[in-house]
């Protein structure tokens, strides 16, 4: 059904969507679309179109465009793309095929947004990433749930009751999201720290040879954090770090704190995204050359920085004051060694995870209505999908 056409690898590909919150499901769709063709053009719907067809957005168009442009598999982001995919708009950018997940998306009238391109034979299906959506994330905020968290990196097996962090399916995902801008070759390095409480650094995914050589010869610009709800504030900060690193031939390694560490520092039900979800969001970013899962809150803990696969040239953090739970500055040592650099200021300094959560909670009624509308749409979309499958089976 909607087989991949012969010669698609030589074509420009179109994909479109809301991209409200830059979660790894969006990145997964862009990765699969990029793997099919030679370039990927990403249509991003306007705030007004989304409000009419789906409900209120959390992230505004400029913010959503920033997230899409930062995905290493996107060639170009196209703002204001129509909610119902238009082959004429695709043709403007010389895109021959549109790619979408294996589900149905409907407009405000309950009609399939891709029916026209399906009828024209321009539609190609990729696998939808399960268990993650903007609706899921909004639900976590409204319900204040923590069941998605993984425990502290202190045992041999890390399960949150639903998933095991280092099982084969998760390692496969790390490998996919660590690929280069073509989505077909090795790219970033993926490491984990302190698994089993042994203070060691373990390589989960090997980098490309060129990245490995640059890490060893040119060194590392290191930045760490929670990177929850991976947003434009994070993206712009990483872009500035990457700009500095590129000018020195160095590579950017991002330390990502585990769920327990983030929860201790932030409280409530933070992080909204768990360590698996946050690491994939960071890995898909074009300004990143590697990640460390479970990086310590204090980067000089147990000689952590010296264990990284290259010499540390700089350590970065944002402009805000940072203290650990005991009131100590976790960057005190690197500051005395002259390695520390502040990031920014930059245009998205006013955005952080708490600001985004507040946007949802302050407009709770509207987002609860969106959740209900999503439920109705899901039932309708399920029926349309079943009808489509029946037609396909009859035609065989």
Residue 326 pLDDT greater than 90, yes or no: no
| Residue of 126 and 72 predicted with greater confidence | 72
Pairing, β 189-193 against β 290-293: parallel
> Are 189 and 286 within one domain?
yes
> Are 264 and 193 within one domain?
yes
Q: What is the pLDDT of residue 377?
A: 47
Q: Has residue 3 been placed in a domain?
A: no
> Are 125 and 233 within one domain?
no
Q: Has residue 101 been placed in a domain?
A: yes
d(CA 208, CA 242): 18
pLDDT confidence bin for 188, thresholds 50/70/90 = very high
pLDDT confidence bin for 309, thresholds 50/70/90 = very high
pLDDT confidence bin for 2, thresholds 50/70/90 = low
> Are 221 and 347 within one domain?
yes
Q: Has residue 135 been placed in a domain?
A: no
Q: Has residue 358 been placed in a domain?
A: no
| Residue of 234 and 393 predicted with greater confidence | 234
Interval 353-377 mean pLDDT:
71
Residue 331 pLDDT greater than 70, yes or no: yes
The mean predicted confidence, pLDDT, of the chain is 89
Interval 175-198 mean pLDDT:
94
Decide if 375 contacts 350 (C-beta within 8 A).
Answer: no
**Around Cβ 130, how many Cβ atoms within 10 Å?**
8
> Are 252 and 337 within one domain?
yes
Q: What is the pLDDT of residue 294?
A: 95
Domain of 125 in residue numbering reads as: 8-130+365-395
Q: What is the pLDDT of residues 235-256, one digit of tens each?
A: 999 999 999 999 999 999 999 9
> Are 166 and 279 within one domain?
yes
> Are 256 and 341 within one domain?
yes
Q: What is the pLDDT of residue 156?
A: 62
Strand partners, 97: 13
Choice among 35-39, 101-105, 338-342, 367-371 with the minimum mean pLDDT: 367-371
> Are 166 and 61 within one domain?
no
d(CA 277, CA 280): 5
Residue 90 pLDDT greater than 60, yes or no: yes
Residue 321 pLDDT greater than 90, yes or no: no
> Are 326 and 183 within one domain?
yes
Residue 180 pLDDT greater than 80, yes or no: yes
> Are 175 and 288 within one domain?
yes
Residue 386 pLDDT greater than 70, yes or no: no
pLDDT confidence bin for 175, thresholds 50/70/90 = very high
pLDDT confidence bin for 259, thresholds 50/70/90 = very high
Residue 22 pLDDT greater than 60, yes or no: yes
290's enclosing H/E stretch is strand 290-293
Q: What is the pLDDT of residue 376?
A: 44
Q: Has residue 298 been placed in a domain?
A: yes
d(CA 120, CA 116): 6
Residue 395 pLDDT greater than 60, yes or no: no
> Are 151 and 286 within one domain?
yes
**In the 3-class helix/strand/coil scheme, how is 68-126 assigned residue by residue?**
HHHECCCCEEEECCCCCCCHHHHHHCCEEEEEEECCCCECCCCCECCHHHHHCCCEEEE
Identify the residue whose tokens are 């990927």.
40
> Are 100 and 168 within one domain?
no
Q: What is the pLDDT of residue 155?
A: 66
CATH code of 211's domain:
3.40.50.620
Residue 102 pLDDT greater than 50, yes or no: yes
Choice among 96-110, 203-217, 294-308, 363-377 with the minimum mean pLDDT: 363-377
């Amino acid at each position: 059904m909607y087989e991949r056409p012969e010669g698609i690898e030589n074509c420009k590909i179109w994909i479109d969507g809301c991209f409200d919150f830059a979660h790894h499901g969006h990145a997964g769709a862009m990765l699969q679309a990029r793997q099919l063709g030679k370039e990927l053009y990403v249509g991003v719907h306007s705030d007004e179109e989304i409000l009419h067809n789906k409900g209120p957005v959390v992230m505004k168009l400029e913010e959503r465009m920033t997230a899409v442009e930062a995905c290493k598999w996107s060639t170009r982001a196209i703002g204001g793309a129509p909610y119902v995919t238009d082959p004429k708009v695709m043709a403007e950018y010389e895109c021959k095929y549109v790619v979408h997940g294996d589900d149905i998306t409907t407009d405000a009238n309950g009609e399939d947004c891709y029916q026209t391109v399906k009828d024209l034979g321009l539609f190609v299906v990729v696998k939808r990433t399960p268990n993650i959506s903007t609706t899921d994330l909004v639900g976590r905020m409204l319900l204040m749930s923590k069941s998605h968290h993984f425990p502290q990196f202190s045992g041999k097996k890390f399960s949150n009751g639903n998933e095991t962090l280092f099982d084969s399916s998760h390692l496969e995902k790390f490998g996919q999201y660590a690929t280069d801008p073509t989505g077909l070759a090795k790219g970033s390095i993926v490491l984990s720290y302190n698994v089993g409480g042994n203070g060691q650094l373990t390589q989960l995914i090997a980098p490309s040879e060129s990245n490995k050589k640059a890490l060893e010869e040119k060194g590392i610009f290191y930045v760490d954090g929670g990177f929850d709800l991976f947003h434009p504030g994070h993206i712009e900060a990483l872009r500035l770090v990457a700009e500095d690193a590129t000018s020195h031939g160095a590579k950017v390694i991002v330390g990502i704190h585990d769920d327990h560490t983030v929860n201790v520092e932030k409280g409530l039900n933070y992080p909204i995204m768990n360590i698996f979800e946050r690491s994939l969001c960071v890995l898909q970013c074009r300004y990143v050359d590697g990640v460390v899962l479970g990086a310590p809150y204090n980067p000089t803990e147990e000689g952590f920085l010296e264990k990284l696969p290259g010499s540390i040239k700089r350590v970065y953090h944002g402009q805000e004051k940072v203290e650990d739970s005991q009131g100590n500055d976790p960057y005190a040592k690197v500051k005395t060694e002259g390695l520390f650099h502040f990031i920014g200021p930059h245009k998205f300094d006013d955005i952080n995870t708490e600001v985004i959560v507040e946007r949802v909670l302050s407009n709770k009624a509207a987002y609860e209505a969106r959740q209900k509308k999503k439920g109705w749409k899901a039932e309708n979309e399920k029926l349309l999908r079943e009808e489509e499958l029946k037609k396909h089976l009859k035609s065989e």
